Amino acid sequence: MPDYYNYILRCADGTLYSGSTVDPHKRLAAHNAGRGGAYTRPRRPVRMIALWQWPDKSAAMSAECRVKRLTREEKLALIAGKISLPEGKRLPSARLPKAERARKNRASAAAENISKG
């Protein structure tokens, strides 16, 4: 059974976005390629700034709902470690997916669109 993850992204305009996934690296790349979600599409590039690991989908979805109800200030406190999601395992920033791969994917997609047009 795969692990599930909750993540928080910082968008190019400074806003925060939270979501869930089984593969944080692919999900970050999808967001930065414009395939992640309607909210993040016009706010690219995005950077993953927090990541939690969960043992199952139910726990991850429950946590995602809780995070989405938080105010911006509460989300920032969660990111800073001032409040926590006690059931989840917060992964250190060294384990966060980096956007470099996603930027390459976005550049490839842009080049592909130019060649089609």
Cα three-residue angle 61-64-69, rounded to 5 degrees: 135
pLDDT 10s digits, 51-96? 999 999 999 999 999 999 999 999 999 999 999 887 788 888 777 8
CA separation for the pair 20, 29 (Å, rounded)? 14
Please provide the distance, in angstroms rounded to a whole number, between the alpha carbons at the two ends of the chain.
Answer: 43
User: Could you list the residue range(s) of the whole structural domain that residue 26 is in?
Assistant: 4-116
Mean pLDDT of 16-35: 96
Least reliable range by pLDDT among 58-62, 98-102, 108-112: 108-112
Q: How many domains does the chain have?
A: 1
Is the per-residue pLDDT at 117 higher than 70?
A: no
DSSP conformational letter for 37: -
What is the Cα–Cα distance from 48 to 98, expressed in whole angstroms? Answer: 7
Query: What was the pLDDT predicted at 96?
Result: 81
CA-angle at 46, arms to 10 and 80, nearest 5°: 25
Model confidence at 1: pLDDT above 70: no
* pLDDT digit string, tens, across residues 34-44: 998 899 999 99
**Average pLDDT for the chain:** 85
Q: Which helix (H) or strand (E) holds 69?
A: helix 57-69
Q: List the structure tokens of 1.
A: 């059974």
The pTM assigned to this predicted structure is: 0.79
- Report the CATH number that the domain containing residue 63 is assigned in CATH: 3.40.1440
Which pLDDT score, from 0 to 100, does residue 116 have?
A: 45
> Do 44 and 3 contact (CB within 8 A), yes or no?
no
